[in-house]
Amino acid sequence: MTAPPSSAPTPPTRGTGVDDWDLLLRTVTAKLRLLVGDAPASPEAAQEALAALRAGVLECAAALDQIVLIIKEQWPTAPQDVA
């Protein structure tokens, strides 16, 4: 059984352009806004929403970790304590 595809974009490699960074960061921002969504209507829906929120926030954190790694690769002189 394979895992469902992630909605996170594939991180670009060396030579990442400004448009790529913009897309990556806007994607993470949009995902975080989507996770907030509307208030659940019932306690059962609240538990499901909380589980989805947790998973989504962890996905965004992983995407941001990837972005930090790319930054460190592209700009080795950047401060190493950004994460």
Q: HSE, CB side, 13 Å, CA atoms: give it for residue 55.
A: 9
1: pLDDT confidence band, cut at 50, 70 and 90?
A: very low
Is 9 among the domain residues?
A: no
Is 57 among the domain residues?
A: yes
Report the pLDDT value the prediction gives residue 3, as an integer from 0 to 100: 41
Is 69 among the domain residues?
A: yes
Number of domains in the chain: 1
Is 38 among the domain residues?
A: no
Q: What is the pTM of this model?
A: 0.65
Is 63 among the domain residues?
A: yes
CB-count burial class (<10 Å; 0-12, 13-18, 19+) for 24? buried
Distance CA 70, CA 65 (A): 9
Report the pLDDT value the prediction gives residue 13, as an integer from 0 to 100: 52
58: pLDDT confidence band, cut at 50, 70 and 90?
A: very high
Convert the pLDDT of each residue in 13-46 to its tens digit. 556 677 888 898 999 999 999 988 888 889 889 9
Distance CA 13, CA 74 (A): 9
Say if residues 24 and 11 touch (Cβ distance below 8 Å).
Answer: yes
What range defines the domain where residue 68 resides? 50-75
Is 55 among the domain residues?
A: yes
Distance CA 29, CA 23 (A): 10
